[in-house]
Structure 1
Amino acid sequence: MKQVQIGPGGPMVSCLGIGAMSFAEFYGPTTEENSYAILAEAMDQGVTHIDTSNVYGMGRSEKAIGQFFKQRPEARDHFHVATKAGISRDADGNRKYDNSAEHLEAELDKSLALMGLDCVDLFYVHRREAERPIEEVTQSLVGLQEKGKIKAFGFSEIAPSSLRRARTVAPVAAVQSEYSLSTRFVEMGLVQTCAELGTTLVAFSPVGRSLLTDDPLSKDVIPSLPFLGTNPRFIEPNYDVNLRLTQPLRDLAAELGEPTAALAIAWLVSRGDHVLPIPGTRSVSHFRDLVRGTQITLTPDVLARIDEILPIGWAYGDRYTEDQWIGPERFC
């Protein structure tokens, strides 16, 4: 499988990773055994990067990964492990962000314990605390490196300007952001800044939270999912329109004899050697469709047809609600 470098001078990993939010029932019910099966398939397919967070199921995702490592000790050397911290709750249970050195280290210690690790390969600040200078946060992350608890660090959903500020303190290995045929705002500065600085762009939701697959989530299921149940792109009348607009992509994939998810992944891989998609799934067969995307080279003609079918800005509805927008940095 094609490889991607994690940050300046960093290790090489597979050009497709696993987004482990699905291990915590974000998109519907699952079991630890199902998560183990996906991790085992990833090992068989040569997928080496796994991306999780302390808040995915409040530790459930990390626990599943840790239990798999206990069952398969060789898996720890196979996987490049990334996790995140920085999202917290106040006394009333309201979401808040804490990028203090003390909070990040305390949450990291819990993650290491759940996964049975001495250190993680990559540690992100999950959401930037706006009031705290990013230079201070970056220095705290350097401190965790010096303690040997993390090998590299990054940020999730920050603006290019924040990345440049962080880089004045130390190299930033990765920035995680939503990026797909559904969501292309990152092409207005973040893709380019990451390439310039040698920072890996880790692309979450690369198949549009199921919209860019052969089997988009059922309208009957969506209301039961806390995030998507209120998400503008997945509520009516937007969802019906988005299903209709993505049907030509499914038709093109069928014409090419490929899964639609594979086409979406292949498109994203074509965006740059520094782009790393991390799709999540609860299905081994769907995971194989995603891996297939790394094996396809899209011709200029097919790329042009994809752009014609889904031009920039085609989706109805914002990618987040106003509440969901609290935390990610808007920059365009």
Structure 2
Amino acid sequence: MKTRMIGGAEVSALGIGAMSFSDFYGETCEADSHAVLDRAREVGVTHIDTSNIYGAGRSETVIGTWLAANSGARDTVHIATKAGISSDAHGNRVIDNAPDYMEAQLDASLRRLGTDHVDLFYAHRHQADLPPEEVAGTLGRLVEKGKCRAIGFSEIAPSTLRRAASEHPVGAVQSEYSLQTRAPELGLIQTCAELGTALVAFSPVGRSLLTDSPIPRARIETNPFLSVNPRFTLPNHDFNLAALAPFRALAAQMGLSTAALAIAWGLHKGDHVVSIPGTRSVGHFDELVAGANTDLTPQDMARIEQILPVGWCHGDRYASNQWVGPQNYC
């Protein structure tokens, strides 16, 4: 397994996006999540990336019960979690990076995970009216207290990263990055490389579009997130499936699953890129591992870019109400 560095720690280039341990994309159970974690341990996948809001703490709890059931596992995995997204009295999303709130949320995460520290703690979204230097200082004090080993931010602009890093080293920035979401190439991937910050790529297989088995229309229509997401609403969804047919054919020609080729492409975009796909099945997880272990030539990369050039995807990556928190920078 290829490795990367996050905040001074060596981790597997492929990680686990543990939103899949909740029911966000479909029903799952603890046993299936534990099976994925067992398989990850077998093949050397060490980075697990979760959040306090995934299933209202369920994802962290599932990881915690797996750690408790597997002696020594905590010493072999690199655990990241996030906080900073809350709700007001009306259920509207609120971004809160206040020091007391962030520490209280991390403390709750540690209890669910059953550990005294995490290896990486992100601000899940940046609170716009707080200077990023101030938020980095808040997170840095949690490092000083021993509650986390490194700090990170999710969905921030390159300029915000530079300001935060002027106050405290930033171990990782998490951002959506895949063949269908190329925005990080407009400065973020470059700034991360310059500052020694890992770019942790979530949704690297496009919320299933970049796989051999995209989520079917019937399930999309019953999923609160996907049913309003512009890339999954009609007619964009049909256009996207058609545009991806040549890419699926290329993957098959190369002896790979579509997901494997998508993962391989992402990891070849920089030796500071960490890919964190989510999955509910060991079989799909093995496809992702195969992608992480695949070496692509410059000719392979050029063929992929020819089939899926920048800007091919139909629809924005978020609906208007889903854009609360992420920073735009283009």
Q: Same fold (TM over 0.5)?
A: yes
Q: TM-score, length-normalised on structure 2?
A: 0.99
CA distance in 1, matches of 2:174, 2:65: 25
Q: Of 104, 107, 113, which residue of structure 1 is paired with 2:105? A: 107
Query: Is it true that 1:2 corresponds to 2:2 in the alignment?
Result: yes
> Match for residue 292 of structure 1?
290
Residues 176-207 of structure 1 show CA distances to partners (whole Å, capped at 9, x for unaligned) of 00000010010010000000000000000000
Q: Of 67, 70, 73, which residue of structure 2 is paired with 1:69? A: 67
CA distance in 2, matches of 1:206, 1:237: 23
Contact 2:157-2:329 at 8 Å conserved across structures: yes
> Match for residue 282 of structure 1?
280
CA distance in 2, matches of 1:135, 1:63: 31
- The one-letter code sitting in structure 2 at the alignment partner of 1:71 is A
Q: Of 313, 316, 320, which residue of structure 2 is paired with 1:315? A: 313
Matched residue SS, 1:73: coil
Residues 237-280 of structure 1 show CA distances to partners (whole Å, capped at 9, x for unaligned) of 00000000011111011111111111000001100110000000
Moved over 6 A (4+): none
> Match for residue 81 of structure 2?
83
% identical equivalent positions: 60
CA distance in 1, matches of 2:322, 2:216: 22
> Match for residue 244 of structure 2?
246
- The one-letter code sitting in structure 2 at the alignment partner of 1:264 is A
Q: CA deviation at 1:73?
A: 2.4
CA distance in 2, matches of 1:221, 1:93: 25
Residues 99-122 of structure 1 show CA distances to partners (whole Å, capped at 9, x for unaligned) of 000000000000000010100000
Q: TM-score, length-normalised on structure 1?
A: 0.98
Q: CA deviation at 1:226?
A: 1.2
CA distance in 2, matches of 1:53, 1:295: 27
> Match for residue 97 of structure 1?
95
> Match for residue 42 of structure 1?
40
> Match for residue 219 of structure 2?
221
Q: How does 1:1-332 map to 2 (within 5 A)?
A: 1-7=1-7, 10-332=8-330
Matched residue SS, 1:268: helix
CA distance in 2, matches of 1:73, 1:274: 30
CA distance in 2, matches of 1:328, 1:294: 27
CA distance in 2, matches of 1:193, 1:61: 31
- The one-letter code sitting in structure 2 at the alignment partner of 1:67 is T
What is the RMSD of the two structures over their aligned residues, measured on CA atoms?
0.7
Matched residue SS, 1:267: helix
Q: CA deviation at 1:299?
A: 1.6
Q: CA deviation at 1:319?
A: 0.2
Residues 60-102 of structure 1 show CA distances to partners (whole Å, capped at 9, x for unaligned) of 0000000101111221111100000000011222110100000
Matched residue SS, 1:195: helix
Residues 294-316 of structure 1 show CA distances to partners (whole Å, capped at 9, x for unaligned) of 11111222211110110000000
Q: CA deviation at 1:293?
A: 0.6
- The one-letter code sitting in structure 1 at the alignment partner of 2:321 is D
Task: List alignment gaps of at least 5 residues for structure 2.
Answer: none
CA distance in 2, matches of 1:285, 1:63: 23
CA distance in 1, matches of 2:12, 2:258: 21
